[in-house]
Amino acid sequence: MGHLFAVLMLLLIQGCNAQQPEPLKGDDNLFKVVTVAENLQHPWGLAFLPDGRMLVTERPGRLRIIEHGQLDPQPLSGLPEIAAGGQGGLLDITLHPKYSDNGWIYFSYVGAGKGGKGTEVARARLDGHRLKELQILFRLYPKSGTQRHFGSRLLFDREGYLYITLGDRGDRPRAQRLDDHAGSMIRLHDDGSVPRDNPFVSHKNALPEIYSYGHRNPQGIALHPQTGDVWIHEHGPQGGDELNIIHPGGNYGWPVITYGVNYGTATKIGEGTHKEGMLQPLYYWAPSIAPSGMSFYTGDRFPQWRGNLFVGSLKFQQLVRLELKGDEIVREERFLTHRLGRIRKVATGRDGYLYLLIDAPNGSLVRLEPK
């Protein structure tokens, strides 16, 4: 624990120097927008199958296949019971790193149970138009009745650990409780079991799945292509959307510290922007952009963007490009403002193009191609 405390203090000091380059308007003429599929109802998550097909989740509780640029009209069967409503429903989706060998597909959704609703994660295998061998790997505890701040993004790291982002469920104090999953990052083995080296495994009053905490509502996660670090972003309140690098046992401060303020009144939340033992964001947005979806660009279609971080904005309906120097954000550029709609998901495809899910009652999947 002494080593962990020293690491956290170093990160806290470094985080105090977080800067915000002035956003620049991007040159939309660098690329063209190609529509891949339409008629998607509030699309949320996207995964690329090795054979070129794509899986898209719709928040009301449907999993769809896109093949050869065509949306299959028949949703997949075999999903668990999903408690769709408010911000919840069928959410993210990802493939096992060894999908070609084992066929496991992982997805997050909102499930009902004692006390209300909460984020859950399951895996299954695809067989034609149905999912088979369904296994529920994780359930948020405790469930509650609110309809917001479910998270929830999924990511596998280089060692094969599964990360799950969870929102505070609209109940701020829960994000600081270690006996409560809300407002935390979860780390599991691929079968749902708890890694023995998770930071709170030996803590009597902590849930062992928790890897970090003090998060408000993270809806973006990505693996740094060089360092292998897990990066997330999360919604702030009015202002204070954060970009963070995840460290084991880290307390990211919500709601004790934040760069945001209360909606409407613009009054202070918590104790300010800094507190000893709580990590500073690598970067933050004020005013909020309402970030959702995030991807490091690793393709070869846009060589000038390789290694850049792309973030979707719901509020301003734009795509944000962050240029990095090491772990420092040195430039921010914004594209597509109010041209497509609310960008919910950003992903680098196997073909090297950048894909965007547009969240709307009649949403779409588009990709960016060089002009």
Cis-peptide, bond into residue 193, ω within 30° of zero? no
Give buried/exposed letters for 249-268 (b at 16+ CB in 10 A, else e): bbbbbbbbbbbbbeeeeeee
DSSP 121-160: EEEEEEETTEEEEEEEEEE-SS-BS--S-----EEE-TT-
The H or E element that residue 211 is part of is strand 210-213
Terminal-residue alpha carbon distance, the chain: 53
| Torsion angles phi and psi, residue 8, rounded to 5 | -65, -40
Provide the sign of the torsion angle of the four alpha carbons 243, 249, 252, 255, taken in this order: positive
233 is known as an active-site residue: no
Cα–Cα distance for residue pair 223/231, rounded to 1 Å: 6
Q: Which two tokens mark 61?
A: 């509780």
- Residue 153, Cβ neighbours under 10 Å: how many? 27
- Do residues 166 and 184 make contact, with C-beta atoms less than 8 angstroms apart? yes
Q: Which two tokens mark 231?
A: 């990066």
Cα–Cα distance for residue pair 236/285, rounded to 1 Å: 9
In whole angstroms, how far apart are CA 244 and each of 5, 182, 235? 18, 18, 12
Among the listed residues 149, 215, 235, 247, the single catalytic one is 149
Cα–Cα distance for residue pair 364/43, rounded to 1 Å: 7
- Do residues 129 and 78 make contact, with C-beta atoms less than 8 angstroms apart? no
Q: Rg for the chain (alpha carbons), in Å?
A: 19
Catalytic positions: 149
